[in-house]
Amino acid sequence: MKHEELLSLPSVWTDRDVRYLPVPNRCDVVLTSDLAPGDLTRTAFVLPIMENGDLVMANVRKPGRGLEIPGGHIEAGEDAHAGAKREGLEEAGCHFDELVPIGFVRMTSQGTPPADWQYPHPLGFQQFFAGRVASLDAYMENEECGHPVVIPAAEVRTRLKGQALAFYERAAELILACPQPRA
């Protein structure tokens, strides 16, 4: 998909002047099965959905963070799918039956990036996937994350806000609508 087309896709949620991008900026949540362009995508996330709709969240130890959708930087040699799968295991102990793309955050910035900026600018993406949880490992806490937290499906809509809720609703819709794969 061309950049112009990606910029014209409608968003379901918008944030402005987020702290992690040069300002002024805009971050739009776009729900689509299309993948964002790999050359403009440096991070990937997965919403781990249990068979009953419960959501597994990473418990990030960094000050001011807390419960987050598992995800992070795509490493050398990985694509977004592989990065999301790895992050789901590292941060939340999740193994997946399947991962399906559910959308991305489209980030545009008119601000001047710092000299050491390593991200695409002025347009970049964060890719999001829905993951059907096949199993949870016994999680070993580490410097980055404490034990993952399972949020019951009945509580998700009261505990998540903004873009996280938009992605959860799309992830749950896709994962729960499809029958569980048989081994």
User: What does the pLDDT read at residue 179?
Assistant: 58
Model pTM? 0.94
User: What does the pLDDT read at residue 7?
Assistant: 85
Question: What DSSP letter does each residue of 153-176 carry, written as one string?
Answer: HHHHHHH--HHHHHHHHHHHHHHH
What's the residue count for the chain?
183
Q: Which residues, 6+ apart, have CB-to-CB distance to 139 below 8 Å?
A: 92, 93, 147, 148
| Cα 129 to Cα 121: distance, rounded to the nearest angstrom | 23
User: What does the pLDDT read at residue 180?
Assistant: 53
Please classify residue 67 by burial: count the beta carbons closer than 10 Å to its beta carbon, then call 0-12 exposed, 13-18 middle and 19+ buried.
Answer: middle
| Cα 109 to Cα 84: distance, rounded to the nearest angstrom | 24
Helix (H, G, I), strand (E, B) or coil at 145: strand
Across the chain, which has 183 residues, the per-10-residue mean pLDDT values are 84 95 97 95 97 96 92 97 97 95 97 95 97 93 94 95 94 81 46
Q: Which two tokens stand for residue 55?
A: 């959501």
Rg (CA), the chain: 16
